[in-house]
Amino acid sequence: MGADGVAAAIDLGANEHRRFDLPIEGMSCASCAAKVEKALGSLHGARRAAVNLATKVATVEGAVTLREVLDTVTGTGFTVPTRTHVLPVSGMSCASCASKIERLVGALPGVTAAAVSFADETLTVSLVPGMITRAGVAATVGEAGYTAIVPEGGDTDLLAIADEMRSREKRELRRRLLVAVPIAVLFMVAMSLRSRLALIERIWSPWLELVLATPVQFYAGWPFLAGSWKALRTRSTDMNVLIATGTLAAYGFSLAMLLFPTFFSGAHASHVYFEAAVEIIALILLGRYLEASAKAKTGTAIRLLVGLQPKEALRLEGDTTRPVPIDRLRSGDLIVVAPGERIPVDGVVADGQSAVDASALTGEAEPVDRGVGDEVMSGSVNVSGRLVLRASRVGEETTLAQVVRLVREAQGTKAPVQRLADRVSAVFVPAVMVVATLSFIGWLALGPEPRLANAVVSAVTVLIIACPCALGLATPTAVIVGVGRGATQGILIKNAEAIEQMQSLRVLALDKTGTLTAGKPVVQTVLAVAGKSRADVLRIAASAELGNRHPIAIGIVRAAESEGIAELTHPSRTRNHPGGGLEAIVGGQTVWIGSPVFVRRMAGGVEVPEAWQRELDAARSSVIAVAVEQRLSGVLGTADPLRPEARAFRSSTKSNVCSRRSARSPWSETASTTPPH
């Protein structure tokens, strides 16, 4: 799309003739098409409306806007499908840049929503398929003086592009800082010591200041000059205009005093303002470098989520397996997932049985047993047994990809207070220019001598200190950090508005396991039958559980290790019984470990004494029975301890905290019931 085409697209108003060809979802019969066609035809300014049921496309011509057409279709009960894309954008220097891009892209035909995150340097745009492409959006951004990159594949490419852009920005800022900062420090030292050291007084001169200030003004400060030219070329203003105007005013005024001393009075010519331009450029470059460093950390949550996706998968081809890249998997492929590996696709278990840890996606701390016919999600961890999966969703369709997309879109949304800041930023720069001009005129007309010098300093001061950057950066950065921090803790936040509304919460409902508790069961009690010791029971149980990645098994092995029991024997064979427990061969003997019901059924009617059951119930512990060769050896009492920060939360918050309580495990206790594996 050329520059003229972009301008024409943006300048089209409701009074111009337009044509929209939009796909419509949900139509199933001729009456549906007639309903949509009638509604579109009744739009004020519509000259023609036609709906083709076979192609499911609606055509509207006339003096109407895309928003009017979309709202009309939605009002009839149908939808126009859109696709949301995220494009990295470079070249922005302040919130005004972000607002300008947002305004230009949002006015393009086929764009239903556009949001620019200055902190994250991304453009999130929703497009109507067939009306405009990502390349068309990128072209519009480019013609505005910025750079938008269209990723060729998924979030991994997007992250790589964003990281490269930020690294390049930091390198460029570092090079310019290495010029500006030493000269700025030299100016500060000379200004503070010249009246006390005669040598500096003799060496330091306005001409030396000119030599030192010139590379700072036109090399270190070049991004501000280039940015202001981009803004003025598109008849807009931003922070670069303020900085460029202020520093050029100080530099130009000082240069004029050196070149044309007779034009100014002696009082004015006695002082130049090169140091003001140098210090301002150095400080703002330093601020931008720190800002770029902070923005580089905002993608941490997305990186962690994308990191849950394996890069390769073992595809079953006949009787052999072959590692293939994730992007080459197709729906229907058979995937082999070994214990301890992450699941690469959404699918259904075709063979095998295992416990699957989906806590990174669902927040549920306890692994869930999965067997033939059960569904599993990408990004989950296969805890114990070998699984063969039949892929049902791959690539961008997987649950993990959707979670990543939701988190990215949430980071790109704007809270109400941020939209207010954007509106203020849009008029802030012109207002500052007006105030600086009035300040210059006021000091020149009414100020003390030397009036011209004081007027220049006053105007430059207004231009520089009135920077809207913090106004436009603080809120989006807070939103990105908040949404990202929540994602890393297993909390998915839908949009920025939800964060802002959290201040009015009065009741908060929390899940217990893995939220209020650690999700890592520990052994609290060990009871042994006559002839067995506590160490004997732990040794038998831990030996049977060696290599098992179930949280209860891990807790039992850790308990044995913590008590110095080192003579553990690896089981020669194990078999998991989902929902019941484990059967293992240890040292030639059969060991059953699990719920009392499971052990009684598998070990020939072995019973846990009622007194032990009551004791562990009173302690709010789960009962894990241990039997060897159809004889009870002992029982373990396990519990899921409360997180330390959960107690701090309960004591510090003024909100009412509700939870789904278990009769045996109120969350305020340190113990909790944990289902046996």
**Residues known to be catalytic:** 511
Strands 507-510 and 656-659: parallel
Tokens of 158: 């997007």
Task: Give CA–CA dist 246/365, Å, rounded.
Answer: 57
Q: Report the DSSP beta bridge partners of residue 523.
A: 638
H and E: helices and strands count for the chain: 24, 24
Buried b (16+ CB within 10 A) or exposed e, 166-196: beebbeebeebbebbbebbeebeebeeeeee
Q: Which amino acid is at 34?
A: A
Task: Give CA–CA dist 223/227, Å, rounded.
Answer: 6
Task: Name the residue among 329, 333, 347, 326 with its Cα closest to residue 399.
Answer: 347
Task: Name the residue among 275, 150, 302 with its Cα closest to residue 210.
Answer: 275
Say which residues have a Cβ less than 8 Å from residue 251's Cβ, sequence separation at least 6.
213, 217, 273, 274, 277
CA separation, residue 258 to residues 194, 195, 254, 372 (Å): 20, 21, 6, 86
CB 643 within 8 A of CB 619: no
Task: Give CA–CA dist 186/181, Å, rounded.
Answer: 9
Rounded (5°) CA angle 326-327-328: 90
Collapsing DSSP to helix, strand or coil, 583 comes out as strand
Give the sign of the dihedral formed by CA 502, CA 507, CA 512, CA 518.
positive
Task: Name the residue among 28, 15, 137 with its Cα closest to residue 87.
Answer: 137
